[in-house]
Amino acid sequence: MSPNNSVQDSSFRELNVERINKFSLVAFHNNELHIVDSKRIKQREGDNCTVNFKGCFYAARLILSSASPFGKTRRVRWTREEREAIESIFGVPTTLEKLQYFKQCANAVKHKCLNLRTTTQVKTWINNQQKKWQDSSLFIYYIFVPHSSDEQFQRSNSSYLYLNIMYNYLSKKKRK
């Protein structure tokens, strides 16, 4: 801080802040920042607390931060190299008959492209890919492939042939 604290503090407009969010009360008294938890908010609602602009910004930043000391953690997308590494180790996730064991995923994480991922993330990604393609292939199957009980549809051979070709094309496209 500079030696002219009183000049800097007086240049900011003072705000009357009772609550920043529903969980915390912030007050700035005698150049000290006080954060009061939600249990004591009702006791302090009658108090008239003044907060200068700098203190309010600092308090809001403290309260709105997540539980992590580094701030909000964001989801990291899977890169093409990571997907190709998993496919080279395990094969295409849509063609796997069962989910890989945890130990196999732990060995896969040792790959240089996957060293930033955890074993749980790898296993979850494989499972999600399997589920995504299983659900969509069932949907395509029921729409495009005729059932034996549907006699009127089977009579029109051209429609059947077209939909069968479309089904085969889409299922091959998914495997690539």
Q: Read off the amino acid at residue 9.
A: D
pLDDT at 4: 54
Specify the pLDDT at position 52.
40
> Given the DSSP bridges, would you call strands 50-52 and 25-29 parallel, antiparallel or unpaired?
unpaired
Positions of the chain with pLDDT lower than 70, given as ranges:
1-69, 135-166, 168-169, 171-176
**Could you tell me the end-to-end alpha-carbon distance of the chain, in angstroms, rounded to an integer?**
61
The pLDDT score that the predictor gives to residue 41 is 38
What is the C-alpha separation between 128 and 107, in angstroms, rounded? Answer: 20
Structure token pair of residue 3: 């030696």
Backbone dihedral region of 65: left (phi > 0), alpha (psi from -120 to 50 degrees) or beta?
A: beta
Q: What is the structure's pLDDT at 161? A: 60
The C-alpha atoms of residue 87 and residue 67 are separated, in whole angstroms, by 35
Q: What is the pLDDT at residue 21?
A: 45
Predicted pLDDT at 43: 38
Report which of 106, 56, 107, 113 is spatially closest to residue 82, judged by C-alpha positions.
113
- How far apart are the C-alpha atoms of 173 and 167, rounded to whole Å? 10
Alpha-carbon span 161 to 144, nearest angstrom? 10
pLDDT recorded at residue 162: 62
Query: For residue 106, what pLDDT is reported?
Result: 86
Q: Phi and psi of 34, rounded to 5°?
A: -115, 125
Q: Where are the domains of the chain?
A: 5-64, 80-175
Q: Give residue for tokens 């910004």.
A: 57
